[in-house]
Amino acid sequence: MSLIRAGPRVLAETRTVPQEAEVLDEVKVVSRAGTWRTRLPGQPGSPRRTRLPLEDPAPPGGPGSPDNPAPPGGPGSPRRTRLPPEDPAPPGGPGSPRRTRLPLEDLAPAARRSDVCSFFSSSPDALDYTEKWLEDTVRHLRAGGGAAGAAGAAASCPPPLSPLHVHNQAYLLLLKWDHESVPFPETVLMDQVRFRQMQQEVERLVLLSSVLLLVSSSLGDELSSRPGLMENMKTTVSVLLEELHTPGFNLEEALLSIGHRVCEDLRGSGSSGSSGFSGFSEQGAELLRGRISACSRPENTVRQLMDSRVQVFLLGSLETRAPPPLPGGLAPVGRELQELAVRFSRLVNFNKLVFSPFYQRILQSLLRPGT
């Protein structure tokens, strides 16, 4: 306790504190009248400035020391002032950053078109194979071919060809292309590998659906009593046709093996463990084996029928946005066919966007009245 004289009979009382933080101590002055006054810093008689500790110092080795750091919020840990979080601005509202969404679907065809436009424009013969491809398509359609050729041939006066229909039919011809001897069109040359893979998948689905159609027609109404039979047959035939396009594959021998395997399962002597059909005789099994083996020839009636139905389904996927209905006989391979149609339509639509100026010029020349 120390006394400071500040006028007659005035006593001041101060406190001595540890010198840790610089603060201003309050000086209490008592007058004769018994009133309280506070002496301002810097005035005569004001106390010296002392430092007050911010926190109680931690003992050596205790919490908060370098050897033993204090846990957050524990004794000896520094106090943290947590500011209230600001309310985030709603998306699209004031203060929110602007987001620019690039139209990638529109930029990709334009970028590729800019790459090939200069080359095709500078070379007059750069699209010879493309022109021949579209010209052969027009000639094929006028002769009554194509996926919808039967309907056009049945009509007494078929409607005139539209550029869109000719263009879609031209893409279907790529699924029957002879890649070994016929040059591929220039505008689809970058996607030749994809078209060839789809062509092989179409051929496999045509053979698979042909075999399943022959099996279902041989059994008739008895097939409804075995709901899982067609799925088992589909798995068996798919495995035997898995290496259809590998070198050295013999389609005739594969179909012979498929015929024997299918007939064994239907008669109940195969590895499937089924009891067999009582009405399926040896004569019926011999007939079914012969029909399945005949599917190895491209001119086989059943194989051509299923191929035309697959072509109609793929054409419908190009001309309509909604998935077209499955033609008859394709229900067992419907899932695989729909997946193929989605990939095929995406590839075709992208190619159209890239090379549409060139296709439009060629098709207008080919479909001009009088040509």
Inter-residue contact 271 to 245 (CB < 8 Å): no
Inter-residue contact 4 to 45 (CB < 8 Å): yes
Look up residue 270 and give its two tokens.
């195969």
One-letter amino acid identity for 9? Answer: R
The string of DSSP codes covering 84-128 is: PPPPPPPTTSTTSPP-----HHHHHHHHHHHHHHHHHHH-TTTTH
CA angle 240-244-247, nearest 5°? 125
- Please name which of 137, 125, 120, 128 lies closest in space to residue 174, comparing C-alpha atoms: 137
Q: What is the pLDDT of residue 7?
A: 47
- What lies within 8 Å, CB to CB, of 47 at 6+ separation is 4, 12, 14, 25, 27, 39
The answer, yes or no, to whether residue 33 has pLDDT greater than 80, is no
Q: What is the mean pLDDT of the segment spanning 256-266?
A: 90
pLDDT tens profile 235-248: 999 999 999 999 99
pLDDT band, residue 76 (cuts 50/70/90): low
Inter-residue contact 5 to 46 (CB < 8 Å): no
The answer, yes or no, to whether residue 264 has pLDDT greater than 60, is yes
Inter-residue contact 262 to 215 (CB < 8 Å): yes
Look up residue 299 and give its two tokens.
């001119």
One-letter amino acid identity for 19? Answer: Q
Report the chain's mean pLDDT, rounded to a whole number.
Answer: 76
Sketch the domain layout of the chain as residue ranges. 127-153+160-371
Q: What is the mean pLDDT of the segment spanning 209-221?
A: 89
Q: What is the mean pLDDT of the segment spanning 205-220?
A: 92
Q: What is the mean pLDDT of the segment spanning 45-51?
A: 55
The answer, yes or no, to whether residue 183 has pLDDT greater than 80, is yes
pLDDT tens profile 289-298: 999 999 999 9
Inter-residue contact 130 to 183 (CB < 8 Å): no
pLDDT tens profile 123-177: 767 899 999 999 999 999 998 877 655 444 444 456 688 999 999 999 999 999 9
Report, in angstroms and rounded to the nearest whole number, the Rg of the chain calculated over CA atoms. 44
The answer, yes or no, to whether residue 44 has pLDDT greater than 60, is no
Alpha carbon 358 to its chain's center: 29
pLDDT tens profile 7-20: 444 444 444 444 44
One-letter amino acid identity for 149? Answer: G
